């Protein structure tokens, strides 16, 4: 059988290396719901969508800000009802992730967005877990699950969700915090994050996406998070950057999300190069790829093209993704060696992509 890595690359006469091996650390599974699957699940479950066709739905993917995206993101979840739906959603993501060079995925899910519609938390977790249990063998991808609390819901709702998830905590690696950021500071969730820590879970939080640097400080000092999701607005606070660099706190940056949510009008204006220059442990991720126009490697390609990143910088980002992951050390080392092998196969500059 001819593998991707052994097929000839006409431009270099060296073996084509395929996409860089990478870990995806910021991926909302509900944000991988492609229009085709949304319509298929709507038919299967007898759910009426307010769009006549997939194209009409796609035309709604024009966002002014985070909230305008979230409105559609939550509305489309109406098609996710059964364990099979969640398993199919995760399988569809994993198949795409494999094509994009993803070797390890730490996957967010939003239980409150489903329990609020009458879907039991066990249905969500069992469905996702069924697909993830097959991921290593079927797609060659190791996985972890991260349960997020919706920050625009109450602290009591987050606590009730954590208690409802207790029978499933063996399936969950970390808790996270997402949804509309401004007006919902991390401190609101101090108690539930303390319970998660007591239960031995890792902690992450979206902070500094639309919210101020003060929210990143709080996520670090009050919630005690292991990673910051997005965190781009940290760049507005020199002292915060120094802290993040000193502690090498990973930031899971999502370039196409930043573009599609109109934080920048041009990806060439993304602060990723300045973040790298500052010595931050930055990773590149896809956030909600079905909505933002690209999966993991598409984000790598987009920043390469818009920001002129060279092969060495792309490999640094890929290495960071494994360093920032919750993997055990031997597996992390094995994946890092895959990047070395990719570099060797791609030649001196390590041409990225096919």
Summarize as ranges the residues that interact with ligand ADE (CB under 6 A).
Answer: 28, 31, 66, 73, 178-179, 206, 209, 257, 287-288
Mapping DSSP to helix (H, G, I), strand (E, B) and coil, where does residue 250 land? Answer: strand
> Which of Zn ion, ligand ADE, none lies near 321, with the C-beta cut-off 5 to 8 A by kind?
none
Active-site option among 209, 210, 236, 238 = 209
209 is annotated as an active-site residue: yes
Minimal distance in Å, beta carbon 63 to ligand ADE? 10
Cβ pair 142, 103 in contact under 8 A = yes
User: DSSP secondary-structure letter at 263?
Assistant: S
> How many angstroms separate the Cα of 272 from the Cα of each of 169, 225, 235, 283?
35, 22, 10, 10
* Shortest reach from residue 290's CB to ligand ADE, in Å: 11
Of 58-66, 135-143, 163-171, 279-287, the segment contacting Zn ion by CB under 5 A is 279-287
CB of residue 26 to Zn ion, shortest distance in Å:
6
Considering the complex, state which of residue 17 and residue 92 has its C-beta at the smaller distance from ligand ADE: 92
Q: Tell whether residue 34 is a contact of Zn ion (CB under 5 A).
A: no
By beta-carbon distance, which residue lies closest to Zn ion? 287
Q: Which does 31 bind (CB under 5 to 8 A by kind): ligand ADE, Zn ion, none?
A: ligand ADE
For the bound state, the minimum distance from the C-beta of residue 206 to Zn ion, rounded and expressed in Å, comes to: 6
Residue 162 and residue 149: Cα distance in Å, rounded? 9
206 is in an annotated binding site: yes
User: How far is CA 232 from each of CA 79, 254, 265, rounded to the nearest angstrom?
Assistant: 32, 9, 15
Q: Rank residues 93 and 335 by Cβ distance to ligand ADE and give the closer one.
A: 93
Of 231, 318, 259, which is closest to residue 283 (Cα–Cα)? 318
The answer on whether 270 is annotated among ligand-binding residues is no
Provide the Cα torsion 242, 234, 252, 63; round to 10°: -170
| Nearest residue to the partner ligand ADE, using Cβ | 178
> How far, in Å, CA of 104 to CA of 285, rounded?
12
At residue 12, the 3 state secondary structure works out as coil
3-class state of residue 195 by DSSP: helix
Q: Does 104 count as an annotated binding residue?
A: no
Among 88, 287, 297, 298, binds Zn ion (CB under 5 A): 287
Tally helices (H) and strands (E) across the chain. Answer: 17, 8
Residues classed as catalytic: 209
Residues that bind Zn ion (CB under 5 A): 287
Binding site per annotation, positions for Zn(2+): 26, 28, 206, 287
Binding site per annotation, positions: 26, 28, 206, 287-288
């Amino acid at each position: 059988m001819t593998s991707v890595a052994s097929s000839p690359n006409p431009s270099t006469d060296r073996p084509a290396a395929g996409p860089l091996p990478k870990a995806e650390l910021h991926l909302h599974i509900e944000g991988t719901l492609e229009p085709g699957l949304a319509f298929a699940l709507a038919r299967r479950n007898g759910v009426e969508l307010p769009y006549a066709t997939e194209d009409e739905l796609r035309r709604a993917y024009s966002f002014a800000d985070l909230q305008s995206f979230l409105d559609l993101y939550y509305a489309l979840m109406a098609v996710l009802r059964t364990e099979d739906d969640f398993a199919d959603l995760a399988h569809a993501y994993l198949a795409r992730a494999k094509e994009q060079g993803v070797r390890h995925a730490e996957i967010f899910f939003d239980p409150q967005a489903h329990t609020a519609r009458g879907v039991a938390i066990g249905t969500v977790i069992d469905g996702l877990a069924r697909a993830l249990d097959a991921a290593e063998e079927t797609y060659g991808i190791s996985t972890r699950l991260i349960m997020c609390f919706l920050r625009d819901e109450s602290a009591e709702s987050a606590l009730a969700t954590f208690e409802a998830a207790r029978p499933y905590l063996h399936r969950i690696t970390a808790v996270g915090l997402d949804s509309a950021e401004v007006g919902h500071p991390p401190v609101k969730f101090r108690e539930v994050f303390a319970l998660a820590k007591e239960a031995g879970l890792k902690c992450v939080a979206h902070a500094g996406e639309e919210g101020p640097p003060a929210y990143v400080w709080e996520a670090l000092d009050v919630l005690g998070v292991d990673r910051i999701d997005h965190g781009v607005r940290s760049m507005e606070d020199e002292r915060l950057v120094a802290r993040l660099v000193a502690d090498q706190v990973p930031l899971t940056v999502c370039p196409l999300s930043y573009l599609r949510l109109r934080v920048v009008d041009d990806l060439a204006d993304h602060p990723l190069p300045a973040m790298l220059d500052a010595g931050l442990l930055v990773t590149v991720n896809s956030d909600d790829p079905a909505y933002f126009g690209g999966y993991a490697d598409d984000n790598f390609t987009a920043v390469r093209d818009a920001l002129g990143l060279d092969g060495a910088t792309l490999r640094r980002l890929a290495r960071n993704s494994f360093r920032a992951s919750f993997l055990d050390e031997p597996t992390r080392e094995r994946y890092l060696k895959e990047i070395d092998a990719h570099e060797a196969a791609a030649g001196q500059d390590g041409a990225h992509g096919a």
